[in-house]
């Protein structure tokens, strides 16, 4: 069997050792990729300890309007009763006026091994000149990192505006040639709105949401951790993500890694074998195809390794009698 295999490979200009090394490299690469994908597509084991420790301190803050699970964190809690496994970070919402009281948790959190950075502070490891990150926290009013700095919770501030204040702001920005992003069809009867930085940011959308969808806050535990959610979560999620918010969709590069499969060993193995088989098939099929194509083009003088001297043949010159 081994002799036949060597003979088969030899006819194709390959060696058994070379093919064995190539396959071993591909399988090892597949294993490394699997470990990478597993870690990036299921961050639950990292998020839950961060959330549990943070909640203990967040729930101790008094004299505020409270915090609430927001954006993708709220989406995971309502849609899947947990954290979205392939999430990039966790989001909490707070009113802008309450930011200082939550920023004051910096020292208590540090005693539990967590690191909080407040707006305007430099965050180690965040600087990336290629992507345009200067390393400072600009948008969230605070951010809590896990002890190994691998995952974090953002505290996204919102400013509460009455109908009159919102339209005054819209008129002010319109005079400057900009747009203030209010909810579509917003009327005075709908009450106040909560607006974050996106409402004032050019090219953004979804910056303002109805306050009635958020307040009064309601308990919304995740995995037994006592947390706070919003008054009308389904209405708020539809306001933010549209009517198909119940359909899971990974974002960013995780849409390629995690959005197309349930991450399990069998699914990954089948896909990886397909990825391995494709280049091997091309390696096998392309050379003969190229030889046939080259022969076809050569016959028509479209392509040839040798110059066509016929085009340089002497052309008879007619002479006058």
Report DSSP letters for 253-276, one per residue: THHHHTTTS---HHHHHHHHHHHH
Whether the predicted pLDDT of 173 surpasses 50: yes
Whether the predicted pLDDT of 233 surpasses 70: yes
The topology (CATH level 3) of 40-257 is Beta Polymerase; domain 2 (3.30.460)
Mean pLDDT of 286-293: 65
pLDDT value of position 88: 85
Whether the predicted pLDDT of 312 surpasses 50: no
pLDDT value of position 294: 67
Whether the predicted pLDDT of 13 surpasses 80: no
pLDDT value of position 42: 82
pLDDT value of position 125: 82
Using CA atoms, how far apart are residues 99 and 118, in angstroms rounded to an integer? 9
- Other C-beta atoms within 10 Å of 193: how many? 25
Query: At 4, is the pLDDT very low, low, confident or very high (cuts 50, 70, 90)?
Result: confident
234 CB contacts (<8 Å, ≥6 apart)? 78
CB 149, CB 115: distance < 8 Å: yes
pLDDT value of position 230: 97
Mean pLDDT of 284-304: 63
How confident is the model over 79-103, as pLDDT tens digits?
999 999 888 899 999 999 999 999 9
- Other C-beta atoms within 10 Å of 147: how many? 12
The per-residue pLDDT of the chain, averaged, comes to 82
Which uninterrupted H or E stretch holds 18?
A: helix 16-41
pTM of the model: 0.72
- Omega prior to 58 cis, within 30 of 0: no
List the domain boundaries for the chain: 40-257
């Amino acid at each position: 069997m081994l002799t036949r295999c060597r003979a088969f490979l030899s006819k194709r200009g390959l060696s058994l050792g070379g093919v064995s090394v190539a396959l071993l490299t591909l399988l090892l690469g597949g294993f490394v990729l699997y470990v990478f994908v597993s870690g990036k597509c299921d961050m639950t084991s990292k998020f839950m300890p961060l959330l549990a420790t943070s909640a203990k301190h967040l729930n101790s803050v008094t004299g505020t309007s409270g915090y609430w699970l927001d954006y993708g964190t709220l989406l995971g809690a309502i849609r899947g009763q947990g954290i979205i496994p392939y999430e990039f970070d966790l989001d909490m919402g707070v009113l802008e006026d309450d930011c200082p009281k939550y920023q004051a948790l910096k020292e208590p959190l540090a005693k539990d091994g967590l690191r909080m950075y407040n707006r305007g502070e430099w965050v180690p490891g965040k600087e990336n000149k290629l992507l345009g990150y200067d390393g400072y926290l600009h948008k969230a009013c605070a951010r809590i990192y896990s002890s190994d700095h691998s995952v974090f919770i953002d505290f996204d501030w919102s400013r509460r505006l009455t109908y009159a204040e919102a339209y005054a702001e819209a008129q002010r920005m319109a005079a400057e040639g900009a747009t203030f992003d209010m909810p579509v069809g917003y009327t005075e009867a709908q009450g106040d709105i909560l607006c974050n930085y996106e409402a004032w940011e050019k090219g953004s959308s979804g910056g303002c949401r109805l306050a009635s969808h958020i307040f009064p806050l309601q308990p919304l535990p995740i995995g037994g951790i006592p947390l706070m959610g919003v008054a009308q979560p389904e209405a708020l999620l539809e306001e933010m993500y549209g009517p198909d918010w119940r359909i899971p969709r990974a974002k960013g590069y995780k849409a390629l890694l995690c959005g197309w499969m349930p991450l399990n060993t069998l699914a990954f193995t089948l896909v990886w074998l397909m990825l391995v088989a494709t280049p091997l098939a091309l390696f096998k099929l392309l050379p003969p195809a190229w030889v046939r194509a080259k022969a076809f083009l050569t016959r028509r003088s479209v392509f040839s390794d040798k110059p066509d001297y016929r085009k340089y043949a002497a052309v008879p010159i007619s002479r006058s009698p």
